[in-house]
Amino acid sequence: MITIQNDDLVVKVSEVGAQLHSVQKDGFEYLWQGDPASWKRQAPILFPFVGRLKDDQYEYQHNVYHQTQHGFARDENFEVVKKEATRVVMELSDNDHTRKVYPFSFKLQVTYQVTNNQLDVSYMVTNSGDDEQLIYSIGAHPGFNVPVREKGIFEDNVVTVDPAEKYQRIKLVAPGPFNDLEHPKSIDFRQPMPLDHDLFNEDAVVLKTDRQPVTVTVGDPEHHHGVNVITNDNQFIGIWSPYPAKADLLCIEPWWGIADGIHSDGQLIHKQCMDRLEPERSRHYQFAIQVF
């Protein structure tokens, strides 16, 4: 386990999946600690796919590859390439295991850095091949303890979105869940949304952000504690809590991709919302977590 810290935050990161393991301020744990009864993970990195593929597979250049929901990065061991008091850089490269399910050369570099009460998270994806495009998506899936600081109950907390406006909600449809991008609904965040487990009876609440800067906050108005997830340039934000498990947990997920569509043909080159990189090119993605 790797620790970075400053006078405000103590953050721990696992080398397995480069997954956040702990985010503490003043001795209080903000990050969900995992529970097999509801959700065993804490903050997986979603790569090279966000969400589920139809039949957990895809086809590329006449070959069929099997891949479970959210990709393989969350279960791979990352190498620590740089470690400082307030910053750590970790990296995953393609290997024999990844090439069996994803036939591309790549590097995924993850950087965590603490500044005051903020944890900055950045991803850099590199096409390390020399002859074909890298086709991928990436996302984050951090889970937070709700109620924050163990006061009250889940339903005492609210979610706010800044800018406070109406957003397009992309429905996730069973049995995937698969996206229905063609038929978005409207969801009103001009006022805070009180939390209720039944909000998630159809899986995540997915907001289409049109790549504008958006901050999603979960907090307890009475006790004035919470978490801000500050995003920029991502296409979607998922807000999710396991259902019907009803855990004291809320995930706020910046996504640069989405699950297969309900009409997906399984061809990787047709998959919606995928990024593409030419050989030897890199692309950066970033978001931040503030606790208060």
pLDDT tens for each residue of 23-68? 999 999 999 999 999 999 999 999 999 999 999 999 999 999 999 9
**Residue 217 and residue 195 in contact, taking contact as beta carbons nearer than 8 Å:** no
Question: What mean pLDDT is predicted for residues 253-276?
Answer: 97
Question: How many domains are there within the chain?
Answer: 1
CA distance linking residue 125 with residue 50, whole number of Å: 15
Q: How many residues does the chain have?
A: 292
> What does the pLDDT read at residue 280?
96
Q: What is the DSSP string of 157-189?
A: -EEEEES-SEEEEEPEETTTTEE-TTS-EEEE-
Q: What is the pTM for the complete model shown?
A: 0.96
Please check the confidence at residue 224 and state whether its pLDDT lies above 90.
Answer: no
CA distance linking residue 104 with residue 100, whole number of Å: 10
* CATH code, domain with 88: 2.70.98.10
- Tracing tokens 């006449």 back to the chain, one arrives at 62
pLDDT tens for each residue of 204-217? 999 999 999 999 99
Structural domain that includes position 17: 2-291
What are the structure tokens assigned to 60, written together? Answer: 């590329």
